[in-house]
A and B are shown apart, each in its own frame.
Chain A
């Protein structure tokens, strides 16, 4: 039992990173009803830019965070203009396919920037083990978890206490009504990408800094983890994205402890498979879908 609880603690700590990735997918999907497959690779390229600065110029933590986030935002905006704005009047599948194509392009850029297979990613967390009764927690995981909580709180304030946050939620709810209210949807889509890219850049930094290495496959990894966590929680639900990320972290941590690394990777897909069969709308998605349908029928 102690092992199980210890795994749950570890899973929640690391799952907070998955939650941030899932929030990135969910925000764009919620606002645009389109899937951005380039989200993971955008973060990877941001992380590569941070690593490049680390290897060639400076080991200043703040500078590397800034380079990682700014590059991720720049790439996010590039993806938005090419794969979403340019095809905004076409079917949603056009955005998904073109963002997949851009994924390949971003991986090529990363491999030209730093051609080796693996690079060290700067570790800015002090790695110590903290005992809490029968349990122990790694300090870098606590740092990542606490920073994730701060980011979630800031995101909540942005969405519920600011004018652009209200506009994001309004466009997500009813794009036509938003137009009548004088909300410029194109600007809001752009804003959604910028916000998501900031989140993604920070998430990438936190995850890689705890892992202390980066490879070109990080884009694929971030896409898989973010998408799975989003679908576990329920597509389009911010609360669901957080819960999905935490659940994925807990299941993976237990699977790793009891079955090894191969079982850990399989467990994510198995969990998704079970969720899609038992509760296709995700942890909270089903309820939201039903509520929204009822709501739209009324108004």
Chain B
């Protein structure tokens, strides 16, 4: 469904992503892990049209979308839930959600939020007319995810969805991601929480200094001694 070939992203002189190729099949949950500065978010931003592609090709559903701008890519059905949530602080929860449906709404705003979404995110349903800034960290992340789902995306890109969350909220987010995958949504997630990300992933890539250094099925990588030593050993010690 989504194929990235030899993607390179530069920030001036610095090469953030170096000739990376990944594939995401329809209905699959693929995770990208790695240390800070490995190029994970840059790769996601390049797919979403937020940052420029230096070279390489991005193909979505058979169509070359390399170089398209962010609003054109959202219209194609690829929606990114950005790192740090990026909510609209001065808009209400309802308006934040409506902004997520911007590409598919008419001139007059339909302020009704679908029942299915309210049932999936009951905490948001109770706070629809409060400001986005009034939510707790976990609720804010749920709002970011719900906003991403408002547009009925074909591919959901998640950038560090559990960053800065309490353990109970982290579990909720991972449960939700697994549930969305089970319902057939194609998901590409960038995550530093390696163990939990691999546990729910169908396939995973490990990045180091802008390059893929390991890849395989999520369960297989969890038992990979090199990966355990590099990324999970420290986590176990903690």
Contact = CB atoms under 8 A, between A and B. Distances in A.
A and B physically associate: yes
Q: Name the prevailing secondary structure of the A interface residues.
A: helix
Interface stretch (B19-27, B66-74, B202-210, B215-223): B66-74
A31 to B, nearest CB: 13
Contact of A162 (B71, B90, B95, B107): B107
Interface in A164-180: 164-167, 169-170, 173-174, 176-180
Given A182-B70, A182-B151, 14 more contacts: A161-B108, A161-B109, A162-B108, A166-B91, A170-B88, A177-B82, A179-B71, A181-B74, A182-B71, A291-B90, A294-B133, A295-B133, A298-B134, A299-B140
A181 B69 contact: no
A180 B89 contact: no
B180 interface: no
Nearest to B151: A182
A295 B107 contact: no
Interface of B: 48, 50, 69-71, 73-75, 79-82, 85-91, 95, 98-100, 102-103, 105-109, 131-135, 140, 147, 151
22 contacts: A163-B102, A163-B108, A166-B95, A166-B99, A167-B99, A170-B102, A173-B88, A173-B89, A174-B87, A174-B89, A176-B86, A177-B87, A180-B50, A180-B74, A180-B86, A181-B99, A182-B70, A182-B74, A183-B71, A295-B90, A298-B134, A299-B85
Contacts of B90: 169, 173, 291-292, 295
A184 interface: yes
Interface of A: 161-167, 169-170, 173-174, 176-184, 291-292, 294-296, 298-299
Q: Which secondary structure characterizes the binding site on chain B?
A: mixed
Contacts of B80: 180
A180 B69 contact: no
A163 to B, nearest CB: 5
Nearest to A174: B88
B48 A180 contact: yes
A183 B147 CA distance: 14
B164 to A, nearest CB: 11
Contacts, number: 103
Nearest to B45: A180
B70 A180 contact: yes
B91 A170 contact: yes
A176 to B, nearest CB: 6
Q: Which 5 A-B pairs have the closest CB atoms?
A: A182-B74, A295-B133, A295-B89, A177-B86, A182-B103
A175 to B, nearest CB: 10
B133 A299 contact: yes
Contacts of A298: 89, 133-135, 140
Contacts of A173: 88-91
A174 B86 contact: yes
A169 B86 CA distance: 15
A166 B134 CA distance: 19
Contact of A182 (B75, B88, B91, B106): B75
A174 B89 CA distance: 8
A180 B133 CA distance: 18
A296 B91 CA distance: 12
A19 to B, nearest CB: 21
Given A182-B102, A183-B71, A295-B89, A162 B133 contact: no
A286 to B, nearest CB: 15
A299 B89 contact: yes
Contacts of A179: 50, 70-71
B135 to A, nearest CB: 8
A156 to B, nearest CB: 13
B129 to A, nearest CB: 13
Nearest to B110: A163
A164 B107 contact: yes
Contacts of A176: 82, 86
Contacts of A164: 107
A239 to B, nearest CB: 13
A291 B134 CA distance: 11
A294 B100 CA distance: 23
